[in-house]
Each structure stands twice: as structure tokens, then as C-alpha cells.
Amino acid sequence: MSCEYVQSEVVTIRVGRGAKIGLGIAIAIVAVGVLFVFYTLDPGEQPIFPRCPFLLLTGYECPGCGSQRAIHSLLHFDFKAAFRSNALMVPAIPYILVGIYLQYFGGSRRHPKVEKILYGRWSALTVLVLVFAFWIGRNLF
Amino acid sequence: MEDNNFTPPPVPPVDGLGGWQAPPVRDTSDDIPPLKPNNWLWQSIVATILCCLVFGVVGIIYAAKVDSLYYKGQYEEAERAAKRAKIWTLIAVVVGVVYIAVSLSLYLTGNLEGLQELIEESASGYNF
């Protein structure tokens, strides 16, 4: 049973390394480009930013609606406006960054307790409840 | 002089081969729990909040299932839930990227209004 995991890990390490570094650089370049576009153009005014298909289909906002405007506001350090555009987005960014550190930069080996608390069973359920509460609440109020 | 108080070390009782009993060897190979599968929690949050797609929510539901099943000892079920979490998160990301690419290319060619009208028209039947 456990042999399978060990084996697959060895394979990924062998294949990885060079390809992983290249992929990381590519992702970083694309991310910087996208952030530059989000910094210079305002998604609230420019029609080039795609609109949410869920909003177009149903007329209701989804949990991700307003995140493009929120990114724009965050890049200009306007936390109030970001919070108004998508309140879930602001706390989600540090949470996602910690998740990336734990998974890809050896964080889960160094801080297994942090991973268990922040990304374990109860946190997954908490996130689920938060997303649904935010989804319903933003369409009611 | 000679140590008269010397007492020989206790000799284990020997009655043929039957006297010696091998210590019970327990097969522990099945007792080691497998590694907890990756539950894709933060990835599905990225899909839900950044890609503006509801499939990511399904990913979060399965992420919650992975951990509760794993700590109940249902390792195979946890493994299956992890696979579903991965699939739904990837669906959300792929659909999101395709949607962004299509609407961007339509905008650049000046046909974006058509796509948005099409979505709104096709949705009119389900709009309650």
C-alpha cells in the first residue's frame, strides 16, 4: 500500500527539478504580466476584462464575483474598496500563499502542525461554510 | 581463594525443542496508515474565488471529505475523494481559462457583445 506513494514520489523527483524550475519561472513571468495589466487597467471600467458567466446566466453573484476589481484595488493598497468588491478575496490571498509555501517550498515538512490546523478537516469545513454564507449573503443584502 | 559463593547463572529450562517458543510475530505491514492524500483545499479556493466558477465549490466539498474520511481510517475512500477534489478543481480551472481566452479573443476581434447576448439568451429559460 505505502510502497505506491514512495515510488511515485521518487518518480516526480527524478522527472522534476529542471522542468519544475522552468515551470516556476514561466508561471512567475505570466503572473507578473497579469498583475501589471490588473494594476494599470481598472476592471470596473474596461470591457476587456471578462464578466462572470454565472452572473450573466443567473443574475446572481457567485463567490468569485468582484475579485478582478478587488485585485485592482489591492494593487493600489485600497483595502476598503477591495473589501467592498469581494470581501472573501482579501483574507483568501494570504491563505492561498501559505498553502503554496507548504506544498511547493517544503513548508509541510517543516511545519506539519500548521498544515494540519490550517488545511485539515475542520478548516476545510469552515471554508465551505464561509463560501456558502458569503454566496447567499451577498445576494440577499 | 576460590569464590565459594559463585552461583551459576540460571539456565533456561530445556525440554527438547518444544520448550522454546518463538515470540509471536505480528504482521505489522498493514498497520502503517498510508500518507494522507492531498486534499486540494487551497487550489479549489483559488478556482472558486479567482476563476469565478462554481465547480470550485464542489472541489472544496470533496476537500472536506478527504480529511474526515482519512481520520476515520477509511483510507481508500479518502483517496477517491482526493481524486474527485482534484478533478473538479481542474475542471473549474480549465473551463475558467477557456472562458477567459474565448472572451478575450472575441473582445479583440470586436465580437464580445455577441457572446454575452448569447449567454443571456440561452439562460433566459432557466432564469427564475
Query: Nearest by CB to B123, which of A48, A57, A120?
Result: A57
pLDDT of B15 reads 57
**Structural domain of A134:** 18-140
Q: Are B75 and A122 in contact (CB under 8 A)?
A: no
Average pLDDT over residues A6-29: 72
Of B98, B90, B100, B83, which is closest to residue B55 (Cα–Cα)?
B90
| Separation in Å, CA A88 to CA A65, A128, A130, A136 | 10, 12, 9, 13
B76 or B54, higher pLDDT: B76
Residue B7 has pLDDT above 80, yes or no: no
Residue A103 has pLDDT above 70, yes or no: yes
What are B's interface residues with A at a Cβ cutoff of 8 A?
30, 32, 34-35, 38-39, 41-43, 45-46, 48-54, 56-57, 60-61, 63-64, 66-68, 71, 75, 99-100, 103-104, 107, 112, 116, 119-120, 123, 126-127
Instruction: Provide, as residue numbers in chain A, all residues whose Cβ is less than 8 Å from the Cβ of B112.
Output: 47
Q: Do B45 and A95 touch (CB under 8 A)?
A: yes
Distance CA A21, CA A18 (A): 5
Domain count, chain A: 1
pLDDT tens by residue, A31-54: 999 999 999 998 888 888 888 888
pLDDT of B128 reads 41
Is residue A98 included in any domain, yes or no? yes
Residue B97 has pLDDT above 50, yes or no: yes
Choose from B31, B35, B36, B41 for mutation: most chain A CBs within 10 A: B41
pLDDT tens by residue, B9-36: 676 655 555 556 666 666 655 667 777 7
Residue A106 has pLDDT above 50, yes or no: yes
Q: Do B39 and A119 touch (CB under 8 A)?
A: yes
pLDDT tens by residue, A56-76: 888 888 888 989 999 999 999
A-chain residue closest to B102, CA distance:
A50
Q: How far is A128 from chain B (nearest CA, A)?
A: 6
Q: How far is A120 from chain B (nearest CA, A)?
A: 6
Dihedral (Cα; A119, A69, A46, B56), 10-degree rounding: 30
Q: What is the ipTM of this complex?
A: 0.72
Instruction: Provide, as residue numbers in chain A, all residues whose Cβ is less than 8 Å from the Cβ of B64.
Output: 121, 124-125, 127-128
Residue A114 has pLDDT above 80, yes or no: yes
Average pLDDT over residues B87-93: 89
Mark A64-85 as b/e (b = at least 16 C-beta within 10 Å). bbbbbbbbbbbeeeeeeebbeb
